[in-house]
Amino acid sequence: MAGWFARGRTSLVGRLIGTFLGQSRTIAGILVWIGLGVVLTILVLALLAPFIAPFDPNTKVASPELPPGGAFVMGTDRGGQDVLSRIIWGSRVPLAIIAVSTTISLALGLPLGLVSGFAGGRMDRGILLVMDSIYAFPGLLLAIAIAAVIGRGILNISFAIAVVYIPTYFRVIRTHVTSVKQEPYVEAAVALGMPRRRVIGRYILPNVAQSIPVIFSVNAADAVLTEAGLAVLGLGLPPGIPDWGFDISLNWQRFDVSWWATFFPGLFILILTTALTFVGEGLNDILNPLLRKREYKAGAQA
């Protein structure tokens, strides 16, 4: 099936998927499968929350701090709310934040990286300076600073996180572009009279796109952690929205009494982050050999 995918498809995405499927049985491939599986499961949880969650997450449904057991598989928290329901409903937040923040980061970082890398010269140096300054800030601190200024809400948090990550996309893309720029096929395209926009869009971008999935996964993992961090610090979302980070901030002082209320949200943050990291690392291993496509096919050298 991997073969079919690789041979039959002519689009670049198709070939990438084909290669990925071909690597299914390697360690890297397995990592990616596991990671994707977990992320998809959580996604399903998030989407089907109204149907799966046993209770309303914001209503007090029992005495506070009941241990796991019986009707409350994960126990209840300080507010008497069912931890399991809060976990299920809470999965929506990190996923939404990932979606929004990475989109913003990519939408700004990618074009900037492309243009800056291609143009070079003073403009490149200028943008690089700005990006490096942002990059130099510890991510969490910067997110805190921005969140403190623009306030709470999913969109605002996403924006704060996005800003932290724009320089990463920018740098990786820009570096890749500067090296691809020197490749003979780019020069050939210029020699054939291609306008600059076309050269960037059709000759450079497709060859640089391989770096993106990896940054994306790392970005996503980081976004989850940052959001949780912000929530624990009280800068996250308004209280009405179930959120794993918020739950930790709510319950951690009572850890010795009701460990489950802190433990389960923390565990799920860990699971999601690790799954995303698996995807990133695995893709990195798989796609990097693709970057060296031009060298000999393994073993067939003289």
Partner 1 sequence: MTEPLLEVRDLKVYFPVFSGFVQRLLGGGDARVHAVDGVTFSIAEGEVFGLVGESGCGKSTIAKTLVGLVRATSGQLLFRGEDVTRPDPKTLFRLRERIQLIYQDAHAALSPAMTVGEAIADVLRTHGLPGPSGNRVQTKSEDAIREAVYRTFDDVGLSPPAFYYNKYPDELSGGQKQRVVAARVLALRPQLIVADEPVAMLDMSVRARMLEFLMELKAKYHLTYLFITHDLATAKFMCDRIGIMYLGRIVEMGRASTIYADPKHPYTKALLEAIPIPDPERKTKKILPRGEVPNAVWPPAGCRFHPRCPAVLASCGWEGRDVIALLEERWLSPELAEREALAGPVKEWEADGLIARREMGKADPGPVYDLIRRILLESGGPMAGAVRKVSIEGTVVVVEFRPPDLLVPKEAEGRLVECLLY
Partner 2 sequence: MSALLELEHLSVTFETPQGPVHAVQDVSLTIEGGSIVGLVGESGCGKSTLGRAILRLLPENATVAGSVRFAGRDVLALSPKEIRDLRGRNLAMIFQDPMTRLNPLMRIRDHFIETIRAHNPAVRQGQALERAKKVLADVRVPSDRLGMYPHELSGGMRQRVMIALCLLFKPALLIADEPTTALDVILEAQILQLLQSIMHEYSMSVLLITHNLGLVAEFSDRVAVMYAGRIAEEGATPPLFREPRHPYTQGLLRSVIDLETTSLYSVPGEPPSLLGETAGCPFYPRCDKRMAVCETVYPEPRLVGEDHRKVACHLY
Chain contacts with partner 2 (rule: CB under 8 A) = 22-23, 297-302
By the 10 Å C-beta count (0-12 exposed, 13-18 middle, 19+ buried), 300 is classed as: exposed
Q: Which does 262 bind (CB under 5 to 8 A by kind): partner 1, partner 2, none?
A: none
Residue among 70, 184, 240, 299 that touches partner 1 (CB under 8 A): 184
| Residue 248 amino acid letter | I
Those residues with Cβ within 8 angstroms of residue 277's Cβ, 6 or more apart along the chain or in another chain: 35, 217, 218, 221
**Sites for partner 1 among residues 277-296 (CB under 8 A):** 293-294
Other beta carbons within 10 Å of 295: 9
Residue among 70, 138, 193, 240 that touches partner 1 (CB under 8 A): 193
| Number of continuous H segments (helices) and E segments (strands) in the chain | 15, 0
Instruction: Name the residue nearer to partner 1 (CB basis): 25 or 198.
Output: 198
Report which of 199, 182, 181 is spatially closest to residue 190, judged by C-alpha positions: 199
Instruction: Name the residue nearer to partner 1 (CB basis): 148 or 188.
Output: 188
**Sites for partner 1 among residues 40-79 (CB under 8 A):** none
Residue among 26, 69, 187, 288 that touches partner 1 (CB under 8 A): 187
The residues with which 76 forms a beta bridge, in sequence order, are 82
Report which of 159, 297, 144 is spatially closest to residue 231, judged by C-alpha positions: 144
Taking contact as CB under 8 A, which single stretch among the options 50-58, 106-114, 143-151, 190-198 is the one that binds partner 1? 190-198
Residue 152, token pair as written in the block = 């709470």
- Smallest distance from the beta carbon of 211 to partner 1, in angstroms? 13
How far from the centroid of its chain's Cα atoms is residue 214's Cα?
9
Taking contact as CB under 8 A, which single stretch among the options 57-65, 136-144, 146-154, 191-199 is the one that binds partner 1? 191-199
Instruction: Name the residue nearer to partner 2 (CB basis): 191 or 302.
Output: 302
Instruction: Name the residue nearer to partner 2 (CB basis): 184 or 299.
Output: 299
37 scored as a contact of partner 1 (CB under 8 A):
no
Q: Which does 203 bind (CB under 5 to 8 A by kind): partner 1, partner 2, none?
A: partner 1
Taking contact as CB under 8 A, which single stretch among the options 64-72, 96-104, 187-195, 241-249 is the one that binds partner 1? 187-195
Alpha-carbon distance values, 168 to 61, 125, 162, 202, 213 (Å): 44, 16, 10, 23, 13
Report which of 69, 70, 230 is spatially closest to residue 140, judged by C-alpha positions: 230
Instruction: Name the residue nearer to partner 1 (CB basis): 136 or 297.
Output: 297
Residue among 2, 5, 15, 270 that touches partner 1 (CB under 8 A): 15
By the 10 Å C-beta count (0-12 exposed, 13-18 middle, 19+ buried), 15 is classed as: middle
Instruction: Name the residue nearer to partner 2 (CB basis): 1 or 298.
Output: 298
- Smallest distance from the beta carbon of 185 to partner 1, in angstroms? 5
Q: Match 């695995």 to its residue by tokens.
A: 282
195 scored as a contact of partner 1 (CB under 8 A):
yes
Q: At what angle do helices 244-251 and 83-90 cross, to 10 degrees?
A: 140
Q: Are 77 and 251 in contact (CB under 8 A)?
A: yes
301 scored as a contact of partner 1 (CB under 8 A):
no
Q: Which does 190 bind (CB under 5 to 8 A by kind): partner 1, partner 2, none?
A: partner 1
How close are the terminal C-alpha atoms of the chain, in Å? 30
The residues that touch partner 1, with contacts defined as CB under 8 A, are 10, 12, 15, 183-195, 198, 202-203, 206-207, 209, 293-294
